[in-house]
């Protein structure tokens, strides 16, 4: 760190009041600001001494002290500026500084990453026109236009293409080019440009877009090309039943219903797996209640804990809750759920507080009547930090089953599709969440989604 000699302080004032008087003034100021007699001082300490002299003396001494203070301030700024080359050199991305002249944008300096990235000899680059160097964009007219924008006071934030290195056979890369001009008076006399390689980010985006297009095409096939013949088969079965007794009609209808169920789940899977690029704010409680109304839940109960709004896709979050509710009811209740619930009641039940499940006291409870008498599962939903939890008090899963439960096609029931929890996992991954299965405090299944973003 730069220091200021005691003698320099005295000399700075001596031209006005003489050396002896200047020395007395500086010594008095040092004592007044309680710095102690030293051979030199930090710049900030020297500024404090000058400020004291300027505020306690009349002109011309106060003017001399202010002038000395201003010179020391410039020195401090210059010292800070000497750190700029280090910051420039250590920038993560390739960077170049140019000076705008009548000839064009002349390279004033570059950092090491710039030279390495574009295969340029840094020692011979300074003084060259930027448009003469092998930097993106390689079209000279395009680069000239961008530099002219920078020179007129505009900031740059564009995508350009080019190679890493000077070999024309190198792979084309995509760069985010950002630039800002530096004013001198009212004119932009220089500028800084930074190149960020975003090729991999763009490649992932292209892959996601391509994957989403394929999934949408598959969803279209599932929705139309498979459902249409299935509907025709169901129609002919109904006609045949009207005209005559059809052997094994019940088995045929059950098979058709099973096919329709599989098609519906495949459709949800295809569309649910598409990457969510722009999630919106979603009210979790509203979606949780909506899903509960969609699923035959018998005499099961839904308890809602601490919920709020998260960044998500409404439809796909709805499918998550529907599948988890269905899984809890089908595996957790000792009595089969009816096809349709008779009624849905909303209200406060003053429900219990259960440590571990996170259901707060006074949580809202939604009961579905109609099961009658037999033990029924209770499903609890709550949110804490960046985790969304759905738990039940059913029989739960063995550790061996938990390890496979999220796999496609895995089911413990002979008539199950094995897609329910797999769909949940796929939708979670589309949100960039991770899913964890475990045991709830009540001994049932606990499903936790990590990485949930609150709104």
Between CA 173 and CA 200 the distance in angstroms is: 9
Mean pLDDT in residue range 150-156: 88
Q: Which pLDDT value is given to residue 112?
A: 80
Q: How confident is the model at residue 338 (pLDDT cuts 50, 70, 90)?
A: very low
Q: Which pLDDT value is given to residue 167?
A: 53
CATH 3.30.565.10 for the 280-450 domain, yes or no: yes
Lowest mean pLDDT among 87-96, 97-106, 356-365: 356-365
Mean pLDDT in residue range 295-315: 88
pLDDT surpassing 60 at residue 373 = no
How confident is the model over 231-264, as pLDDT tens digits?
A: 888 888 888 888 888 888 888 887 787 777 666 7
pLDDT surpassing 50 at residue 31 = yes
Q: Which pLDDT value is given to residue 359?
A: 40
Q: How confident is the model at residue 81 (pLDDT cuts 50, 70, 90)?
A: very low
Q: Which pLDDT value is given to residue 426?
A: 82
pLDDT surpassing 90 at residue 201 = no
Lowest mean pLDDT among 124-128, 293-297, 339-343, 389-393: 339-343
Mean pLDDT in residue range 290-307: 88
pLDDT surpassing 60 at residue 78 = no
Q: Mean pLDDT: which of 16-30, 105-119, 165-179, 346-360 is highest?
A: 16-30
Range 91-197: architecture per CATH: 2-Layer Sandwich (3.30)
Computed over every residue of the chain, the mean pLDDT equals: 77
Domain pair 91-197 / 280-450, same fold: no
Per the structure block, which two tokens stand in for 250?
């019940």
Q: Which pLDDT value is given to residue 443?
A: 87
pLDDT, greater one: 275 or 67 = 67
Q: Which pLDDT value is given to residue 343?
A: 32
pLDDT surpassing 90 at residue 145 = yes
Q: How confident is the model at residue 286 (pLDDT cuts 50, 70, 90)?
A: very high
Lowest mean pLDDT among 66-75, 243-252, 336-345: 336-345
Total length of the chain: 455
Task: Map out the domains of the chain as residue ranges.
Answer: 3-82, 91-197, 202-272, 280-450
Q: How confident is the model at residue 177 (pLDDT cuts 50, 70, 90)?
A: very high
CATH 2.40.50 for the 202-272 domain, yes or no: no
Q: How confident is the model at residue 280 (pLDDT cuts 50, 70, 90)?
A: confident
Q: How confident is the model at residue 367 (pLDDT cuts 50, 70, 90)?
A: very low
Mean pLDDT in residue range 333-349: 38
């Amino acid at each position: 760190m730069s220091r200021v000699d005691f003698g320099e302080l005295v000399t700075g004032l001596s031209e006005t009041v003489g050396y002896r008087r200047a020395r007395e003034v500086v010594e008095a100021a040092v004592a007044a600001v309680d710095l102690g007699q030293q051979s030199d001082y930090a710049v900030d300490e020297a500024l404090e001494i000058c400020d004291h002299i300027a505020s306690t003396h009349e002109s011309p001494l106060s003017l001399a002290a202010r002038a000395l203070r201003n010179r020391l301030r410039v020195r401090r700024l210059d010292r800070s500026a000497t750190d700029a080359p280090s910051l420039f050199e250590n920038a993560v991305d390739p960077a170049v500084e140019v000076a705008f002249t009548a000839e064009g944008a002349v390279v004033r300096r570059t950092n090491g990453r710039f030279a390495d990235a574009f295969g340029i000899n840094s020692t011979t680059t300074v003084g060259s026109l930027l448009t003469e160097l092998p930097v993106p964009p390689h079209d000279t007219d395009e680069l000239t236009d961008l530099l002219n924008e920078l020179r007129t006071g505009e900031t740059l934030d564009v995508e350009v293409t080019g190679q890493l290195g000077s070999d024309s056979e190198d792979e084309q890369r995509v760069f985010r080019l950002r630039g800002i001009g530096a004013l001198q008076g009212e004119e932009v006399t220089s500028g800084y440009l930074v190149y960020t390689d975003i090729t991999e980010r763009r490649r992932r985006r292209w892959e996601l877009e391509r994957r989403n297009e394929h999934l949408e095409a598959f969803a279209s096939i599932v929705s139309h090309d498979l459902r249409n013949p299935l509907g025709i088969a169901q129609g002919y079965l109904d006609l045949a039943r009207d005209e005559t007794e059809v052997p094994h009609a019940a088995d045929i209808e059950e098979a058709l219903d099973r096919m329709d169920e599989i098609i519906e789940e495949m459709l949800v899977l295809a569309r649910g797996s598409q990457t969510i690029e722009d999630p919106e704010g979603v009210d979790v409680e509203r979606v949780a209640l909506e899903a509960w109304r969609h699923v035959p839940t018998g005499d099961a109960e839904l308890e809602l804990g601490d919920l709020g709004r998260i960044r998500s896709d409404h439809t796909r979050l709805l499918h998550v809750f529907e599948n988890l509710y269905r899984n809890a009811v089908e595996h957790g209740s000792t009595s089969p759920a009816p096809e349709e619930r008779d009624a849905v009641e909303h209200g406060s039940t003053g429900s219990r507080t259960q440590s571990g499940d996170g259901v707060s006291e006074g949580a809202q409870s939604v009961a579905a009547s109609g099961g009658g008498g037999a033990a029924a599962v209770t499903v609890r939903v709550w949110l804490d930090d960046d985790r969304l939890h759905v738990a039940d008090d059913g029989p739960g899963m063995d550790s061996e089953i938990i390890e496979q439960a999220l796999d496609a096609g895995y089911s413990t029931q002979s008539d199950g599709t094995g897609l329910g929890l797999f769909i949940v996992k796929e939708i979670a991954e589309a949100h960039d969440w991770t899913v964890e299965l475990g045991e709830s405090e009540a001994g049932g299944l606990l499903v936790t989604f990590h990485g949930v973003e609150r709104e």
